[in-house]
């Protein structure tokens, strides 16, 4: 396509997007013009053929695509955890698509490599991961899988080369409300979905710490390896926050990797203190993040970065990843083996420090620290031992009584060591620039989109303060909706308080009010949300999700989700309840 012709085509397409309501649809226009699959196929000439189409035909087709697509930027779209896009983020997405850059090496992505580095460091600082690392990935599911594979790799690095066929089963612990990506990750990583242990939750959807401890004990008794706990800070349906500090206590005591899924949240900085002040959860959340090992976060959800934009963060860039030690008494030929217990950790640390000082290791290779907040001690090394050790007290004081053989004492860059394949056509070691900026080998992908730029441009445009205001407004609207539900006849909250921007509730039609709430009655209520949802979608006046929670014996209920774009209003919240009532008041009459 000639340059002038391309500009005309793109200009016309932009105008179609504007006229079709893709950017800022009016509230009087439908959220969607719904057609069932068979009718939609008839309405759109989607089939491909040997002859080319003209620009006019393509623009006409694009106009129909816009017409029949869901307007996620509509004020009445509350169907998913994401919504419309931040205008600056959209501009960033256009720029990156036009440049078509691949983020694997600095030489092909110089600016975007630096942008990702700046963006990650900014987020890491807010989380409390001062020595952390991270990467942008294709969505929260992939970010959670990064957490899973890193947890397993830190526990047993040889799984990368030797596989898991000769090892006992690994076990992952999640709450009943956790995202289903953990199940998919268990399948893809060979852990097995049967080894994802779903821990009971309380009435608000929060993991019960005592149940986690009980589940871990049960798994250990079965001969399985508990290597990962996935906590949730803002669950998909109820928006629940697991009891963060208590889970961290359990994981630290048992040397289990603690990953936290905060994908729902729009912001993980000081704004949390303001947004969640009414829940008095900020200190708990922040402490938890600092005590966790990794975090996944989706700016493309509440915050409104264009899809896809997801960050995976790890607490320590420099992590003691694996230690295989055999302590051999020089006066005897036997090798002392057994499990290194926490009680032995302090003395064993001192011993290894002496070995370092005696030049048994290079000091830049071994680093006995987990961060500025943690004192060096070998308790952290206990789960990494392929063969543990017991040492006679007489041998604690003199390094000449032992010789130590090590395998992988320290990995400088756990993400890189876990995922790298060292492709020499990309990651040459003799380049003319600092190859530490060739970050692609940290990823499990080869090609990777430059997703950080969209978020960076949003952040640059709005600053911390501007983003804070957006999230604050969104939370205020969620609380307003909750208050209206509590005081409106026929509506009932599933969970009394709003924990995030998810507001979950039932609508009880007039014909069912005042009746005995028997099993038969609840079965009728179960059909209310699907029937109203169909009417809403066909009319185009509102899109809102619904679901049951079978593990809590909760019948179908609505879930209204608010996001930062377009900035919600109290009028939008009122509209949600008015439309549900309007389309459901005649049910069972």
pLDDT tens readout for residues 462-513: 998 898 889 889 999 999 999 999 999 999 999 998 888 999 999 999 999 9
Q: Is the separation of the CB atoms in 44 and 64 below 8 Å?
A: yes
**Helix (H) or strand (E) segment spanning residue 462:** helix 452-486
Please tell me the distance from the alpha carbon of residue 125 to that of residue 320, in angstroms, as a whole number: 21
Q: How big is the chain, counted in residues?
A: 589
Q: Is residue 348 part of a domain?
A: yes
355 lies in some domain? yes
471 CB-contact burial (10 Å; exposed 0-12 / middle 13-18 / buried 19+): buried
pLDDT-derived band at 131, boundaries 50, 70, 90: confident
Mean pLDDT of the residues in the chain: 82
Identity of the highest mean pLDDT range in 368-372, 461-465, 520-524: 520-524
Cα–Cα distance for residue pair 352/377, rounded to 1 Å = 10
% of the chain exceeding 90 in pLDDT: 62
* pLDDT on residue 413: 78
pLDDT digits over 215-233, tens only? 999 999 999 999 999 999 8
3-state secondary structure of 314: strand
Range in 26-30, 38-42, 368-372, 491-495 with the lowest mean pLDDT: 368-372
- Within a domain: 236: no
Out of 203-212, 234-243, 383-392, the most confident range is 203-212
Spatial contact of 34 and 82, defined as CB atoms under 8 Å apart: no
Min mean pLDDT across 62-71, 390-399, 419-428 is at 390-399
Q: Is residue 356 part of a domain?
A: yes
Q: How far is CA 374 from the centre of its chain?
A: 26
Per-residue confidence (pLDDT) for residue 463, from 0 to 100? 92
Supply the DSSP string of 246-290, one letter for each residue: HHHHHHHHHT-EEEEE-TT-S--STHHHHHTGGGT-HHHHHHHHH
Answer yes or no: is 333 within a domain: yes
Helical residues (DSSP H) of 110-243, grouped into ranges: 110-127, 140-155, 159-162, 181-188, 209-221
Structural domain that includes position 404: 327-412
Q: Kindly report, residue by residue over 278-318, the tens digit of the pLDDT.
A: 333 444 444 446 688 999 999 999 999 999 999 999 987 64
Residue 365 lies in a domain: yes
Q: Is the pTM of this model over 0.75?
A: yes
pLDDT of residue 15: 96
Q: Contact, 554 vs 548, CB < 8 A?
A: yes
More confident residue, 349 or 108: 108
pLDDT at 428 (0 to 100): 87
Is a pLDDT exceeding 80 seen at residue 379?
no
The verdict on residue 571 lying in a domain is no
Range in 6-20, 252-266, 486-500 the model is least confident about? 252-266
- Give the mean model confidence (pLDDT) for residues 76-88: 94
Q: Are 106 and 113 in contact (CB under 8 A)?
A: yes
Structural domain contains residue 255: no
Q: What percent of the chain has pLDDT over 70?
A: 79
Instruction: State phi, psi for 508 to the nearest 5 degrees.
Output: -105, 110
Q: What is the pLDDT of residues 410-460, one digit of tens each?
A: 334 788 889 989 888 898 888 898 888 999 999 999 999 999 999 999 999
What dihedral do alpha carbons 224, 225, 229, 235 form, nearest 10°?
-30
Which stretches does DSSP call E strand in 273-347?
294-297, 310-314, 318-319, 327-329, 335-336
Could you tell me the two tokens for 501? 């921007």
Tally of domains in the chain = 1
Q: Residue 289: what pLDDT?
A: 60
| pLDDT at site 396 | 32
pLDDT of residue 210: 97
| C-alpha to C-alpha distance for 16 and 399, rounded to whole angstroms | 76
pLDDT band at 402 (very low <50, low <70, confident <90, very high): very low
């Amino acid at each position: 396509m000639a340059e002038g012709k391309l500009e005309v085509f793109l200009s016309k397409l932009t105008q179609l997007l504007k006229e079709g309501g893709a950017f800022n649809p009016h509230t009087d226009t439908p959220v969607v013009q719904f057609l069932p699959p068979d009718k939609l196929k008839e309405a759109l000439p989607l089939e491909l053929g040997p002859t080319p189409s003209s620009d006019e035909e393509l623009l006409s087709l694009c106009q129909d695509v816009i017409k029949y697509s869901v307007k996620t930027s509509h004020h009445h779209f509350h169907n998913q955890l994401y919504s419309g896009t931040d205008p600056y983020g959209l501009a960033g997405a256009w720029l990156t698509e036009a440049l078509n850059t691949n983020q694997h090496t600095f030489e092909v992505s110089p600016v975007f490599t630096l942008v990702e580095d700046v963006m990650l460091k900014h987020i890491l600082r807010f989380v409390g991961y001062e020595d952390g690392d991270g990467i942008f990935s294709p969505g929260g599911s992939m970010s959670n899988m990064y957490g899973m594979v890193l947890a397993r790799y830190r526990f047993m690095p040889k799984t990368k080369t030797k596989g898991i066929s000769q090892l006992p089963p690994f076990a992952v612990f999640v709450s009943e409300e956790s995202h289903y990506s953990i199940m998919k990750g268990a399948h893809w990583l060979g852990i097995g979905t049967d080894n994802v242990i779903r821990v009971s939750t309380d009435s608000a959807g929060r993991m019960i710490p005592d149940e986690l401890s009980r589940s871990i004990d049960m798994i250990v008794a079965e001969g399985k390896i508990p290597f990962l706990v996935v906590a949730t800070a803002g669950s998909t349906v109820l928006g629940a926050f697991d009891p963060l500090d208590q889970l961290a206590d359990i994981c630290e005591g048992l040397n289990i990797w603690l990953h936290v899924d905060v994908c729902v949240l729009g912001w993980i900085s000081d704004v949390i203190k303001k947004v969640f002040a009414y829940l008095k959860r900020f200190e708990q959340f922040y402490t938890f993040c600092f005590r966790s090992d990794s975090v996944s976060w989706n700016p493309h959800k509440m915050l409104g970065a264009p899809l896809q934009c997801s960050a995976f963060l790890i607490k320590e860039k420099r992590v003691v990843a694996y230690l295989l030690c055999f302590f051999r008494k020089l006066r005897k030929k036997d090798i002392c083996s057994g499990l290194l217990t926490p009680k032995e950790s302090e003395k064993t640390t001192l011993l290894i420090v002496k070995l370092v000082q005696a030049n048994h290791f290079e000091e830049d290779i071994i680093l006995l620290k987990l961060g500025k907040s943690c004192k060096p001690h070998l308790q952290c090394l206990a789960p990494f031992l392929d063969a543990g050790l017991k040492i006679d007290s007489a041998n604690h004081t003199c390094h000449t009584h032992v010789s130590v053989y090590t395998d992988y004492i320290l990995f400088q860059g756990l993400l890189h060591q876990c995922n790298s394949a060292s492709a020499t056509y990309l990651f040459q070691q003799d380049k003319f620039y600092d190859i530490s900026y060739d970050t692609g080998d940290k990823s499990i992908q080869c090609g990777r989109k430059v997703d950080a730029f969209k978020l960076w441009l949003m952040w640059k445009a709005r600053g911390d303060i501007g983003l804070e205001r957006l999230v604050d407004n969104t939370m205020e609207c969620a609380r307003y909706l909750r208050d209206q539900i509590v005081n409106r006849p026929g509506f009932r909250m599933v969970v009394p308080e709003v924990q995030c921007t998810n507001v979950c509730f039932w609508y009880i039609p007039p014909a069912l009010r005042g009746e005995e709430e028997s099993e038969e009655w609840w079965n009728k209520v179960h059909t209310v949300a699907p029937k109203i949802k169909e009417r809403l979608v066909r009319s185009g006046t509102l899109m809102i999700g619904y679901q049951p929670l079978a593990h809590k014996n909760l019948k179908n209920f609505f879930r209204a989700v608010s996001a930062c774009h377009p900035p919600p209003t109290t009028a939008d919240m009122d509209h949600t309840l008015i439309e549900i009532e309007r389309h459901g008041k005649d049910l069972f009459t």
